[in-house]
Structures are given as structure tokens and as C-alpha cells.
Structure 1
């Protein structure tokens, strides 16, 4: 590949995606508020971009991988926004976990500038972003999908085309992340119980991983919790936000579940306990105080 791709937001997931594209032969223009993250990619061959507009200059597509809708809007349409630098027909991949109505609003603003929005949230963690095994939930027009198929398939071997209605990628991601939050809260509670019962936590998790209680997020996060490793790969605040957005989407659809609110409250409690900037494996600490 010799096409240029801009990416704004090269933290844990965005950095993994950028590294994946570089390894696959794409030219990557990377932008982030944290200069050290950009420079780490420059050492791997990326071009440093001082602003989102710089990241978009000459790019066939721009990947937006920031925290929320407000940041996404600023990246695209702010003082140094990328939208004005993109050529007509270029694609914008909206990879952040945001509300469906925010995807629709951003897509409408992009369409007004003759830019193609691709609703493409991702899931799987930094390591899977880097090796191309994360899942990518894609909703966009057929023409945009076809034109950017090579980019999407370079990013992930697990591209799920969930439809053509913009916002359905976001809806799918919120359903997934609500379940992830429920599973993580349940795993943290169960492992805390194992400790209280005097069980060896590592051996108990070995059993769970081969039994009916297994879930990917439980294995991934509880292995770290057992080791006392709370270095952030996904901050507690991310699933706090995502479960909130999922509950808001549920209410808008007239749906009231029982477990989602309980899981969301667990993330709220973790934030109140001072664990906001830790990895979300820190949920274990709520149920197993040190």
C-alpha cells in the first residue's frame, strides 16, 4: 500500500491501529495531544502531524479514534479540524464509542462537505488492534465500504458489516460494551468470592476459562487483577462512559434491563473510589478491598 491514511488519537487502540497499518505498508500521518505517542510511531515510520488538519493533508482516509463525541467534533470541525483538509470523496472512519445520534450528526456534517462517513467502532484491546484481530463493526453506504475495503481489511481480519444505516455500528458497539461491562463486573465479584473462600485465584480462573463461566473480558482483566497489574490499557472511565451510553440508548428505545444499571453503578463506584485512571481490571478492588 502507498496510500496515505491520517489517524487522530494514537493512544492504546489508535496506536495499535496505526502500528498495524504501518506494518501492512500504509503511509500513516499520526496526530495526538501526547507527543510521545506520536514519536513512538514515527520511530516505526509514521509521519508526525501537529494538528488534525495536518493529519488529513493528502490523505485518502482519516481515522478518528478519540474518547467521545465532543472530541470527535473538535477533531473534524474545530479550529484546526481535519474536514477542511480532506479532498472531496475522502472517507472518515468514526472509531470512537459514541452515541448513535452523535454518529448521525457527524455524518451529516461530513456529507455536507462531500466526505464519506464510515461508522466503525472497534473492540478487542490494544494487542488485538496491533495484530489485526480486533473486531470492527462497520455501517456505511455500499460505495464507501467498497472504496475503503482494503483499508478496513488491513485494520482487521474481523470486519463485521452490520448495515448501511449510519449509527448501527455505534448501536452494535454499545450492545457489546454493555455486555462487556456486565461480564467484567460479574467476574470481579466472582473472583473476589473465590478469594474469600480461600481458593487460589489463578487456579480458579484456570477452571473458569475452561468452564461455563468463561468470558474473554473476564480472562483478560482478571489475569491482570490477580497480578496486581492495573496499568491502563482501557481506563475505568471508558466502560463507565460506554455503559452510560448503552443505558441511554436503551431508554430511548423503551427498554429497561436489570443488569446494565448494576454494572454501570459498579464503574461509577470505582471512579468515586479514585480508580478512574486505572485499567478497568481495577473493578476487582471494589469487591476485594486490599
Structure 2
């Protein structure tokens, strides 16, 4: 989704620097007008904001605080936008460490997939101080037409994202089970999904993934490792809050089993 976000900004005339471990992805963005840098530490000091779009907390740590991390060049007044799906505690820790340097944090996990990141219709779940929002409003509006103000507290964006992704995981597991049942009952899967999509069982992720599966398109859209991570983090957040969520726990177990079985 980072590539989609960069492409969206470039299409609107923004100056964008990009850094990625995948040289091919960097080349794609350079072809659209971005400037490549070899490490986060080489980012321009006059940048409006620094957007981190990686997989997990460990990668976020590297981007920020590794030897060639962004922290080497950050100055008071700079702003860092955290877009990965990570735990609220990790967001709070990063925000605290950045605040000690006078750097603002925008807790801004995203949802919607690469295509919606590219066309600006993804959702951003934003938690940051009001003054930081005001400073970054132009960038946020350029990134997405669906910016949800969660709170002023970094960490609450992550909490909202985990709630969303837990429900997405439950819906996906439920859709797969329902279509498997339809097959066992001898029903036509396409017709059954047509009915579901116009009835109370509809969900976006269920329709999207099951429609592809029925067509024989098994190319990964979201890796099992991400689904396992996100639902696991959501279950951990639930436990921390003293909340018992059996459906979420079972969905998390399904993705963990799929990961252990070597599925993509």
C-alpha cells in the first residue's frame, strides 16, 4: 500500500522521496517521478512528513532507529506518520521516543488495499494531537478522502485498526466456511454468493475473496502471515482489556494453522 500512497501523491504533484528494500518497487516509483534514497537517514530535512508503511513493529523500529534510520535526521517539529498494523503499545512507545526528540507522531493505520491507496479511497484511522492534524491536513486529504479522526492519543488508531482487522478475519473465515457448506450441499457456488451479496450474510472481504476463489484465482491478496499477525494482535489487545472474544480467537487460530501449514 505504500507504493499506492506514493503514486497517489505523485499524481497530485507532490514531491516524494521513496526508500524500500525492494529495488523493483523503488524503480516503479522513480518512473512516476519520485526521488530514490538509499536509507531513511537520507530523507530531506525540509520534508512535510515522513510516512512509514511497513509490515510490523520490528520493521518500524529499523526504519526509525536503526543505524541508518530516520531518527538520525529528525528534528524538532518534524512529523512521522505510522501506517503499519502494530500493537497500540508499540505505537505508544514509538510516539514517546519520538516526542523526546520533539517529533510529532500521527498514528494512522490504513485499510483498503493497494488499489484504493492509489486512488485515494482507502481509509485512514487517525490519532494525533489537533495541532498536528491541522499542520498535516493537506497531506492527509491528499492521501485519502476517508480520514477518520479517532482521538488525540497515538495508540487509538492502532486499536481501531485491530478491531477492524479482527472483524475482517472473522468475516473471511466465516465466508469460506459458508461457501464450503454450500458446496457440500450441492449448491452452485456462484449463485449462492450472488444471494449472499444481496442478503444479510454479505461482507466486502467475503465477497472479494470468495468470488476470486470460485473463479480459480488463488493469487494472494493478503498474505497469511499478515492475517495471522493482525488477528493475533487483536486477540492480545482483547486479553489486555479483559475481553473474551471466542470468534476472534478461533479466526486467529485458523490463520495460524494456515501459516504453519505453509500456505501463502
Residue matched to 1:157: 145
Q: Aligned to 1:269, which of 257, 260, 263?
A: 257
Q: Is the aligned partner of 1:213 residue 2:222?
A: no
Q: Is the 8 A contact 1:137 1:172 kept in 2?
A: yes
Cα deviation 1:58-81 (Å, max 9, x = unaligned): 322111011111110110111100
TM-score (norm 2): 0.97
* Cα pair 1:63 1:92 within 8 Å, conserved: yes
Contact 1:65 1:94 in 2 (8 A): yes
Residue 194 (structure 1) aligned with residue 173 (structure 2)? no
TM-score by length of 1: 0.88
**Residue 174 (structure 1) aligned to one of 159, 162, 176:** 162
**Pair 1:223 & 2:241 matched:** no
Pair 1:206–1:55, CA change in 2 (3 A): farther
Kindly tell me the number of residue pairs found equivalent between the two proteins. Answer: 264
Cα drift, residue 192 of structure 1? 1.2
1:145 is matched with 133
Q: CA 1:227/1:54 → structure 2, altered by over 3 Å: closer, same or farther?
A: farther
Q: 1:234 and 2:222 equivalent?
A: yes
Deviation string for 1:89-109 (max 9, x for gaps)? 111000000000100000011
Aligned 1:1-290 pairs, distance under 5 A: 13-275=1-263, 277=264
CA-atom RMSD in angstroms: 1.2
Farther off after superposition, 225-234 or 100-109: 225-234
Measured after TM superposition, the shift of residue 33 of structure 1 is 0.5
- Residues 55, 202 of structure 1: alpha-carbon distance in 2 compared, 3 angstrom cutoff: farther
Distance in 2 of aligned mates of 1:78 and 1:164: 28
Gapped regions of structure 2 (runs ≥ 5): none
Contact (CA 8 Å) 1:120, 1:138: kept in 2 or not? Answer: yes
Q: Is the 8 A contact 1:16 1:129 kept in 2?
A: yes
1:229 deviates by 2.1
CA contact (8 A) 1:126 1:233 kept: no
> CA separation in 1, counterparts of 2:218 and 2:19?
26
- Report the CA distance between 1:56 and its aligned residue: 4.9
Where do 5+ consecutive residues of structure 1 fail to align?
1-12, 278-290
Tell me the SS of whatever aligns to 2:68: coil
Misfit runs of 4+, over 6 Å: none
Distance in 2 separating the partners of 1:270 and 1:149: 40
Structure 1 distance, partners of 2:49, 2:188, is 49
Larger deviation, residues 243-252 vs 229-238: 229-238
Q: What's the offset of the Cα at 1:14?
A: 0.8
1:6-63 Cα offsets, whole Å, 9 max, x none, are xxxxxxx111111111112111111110100110111111111111112454322111
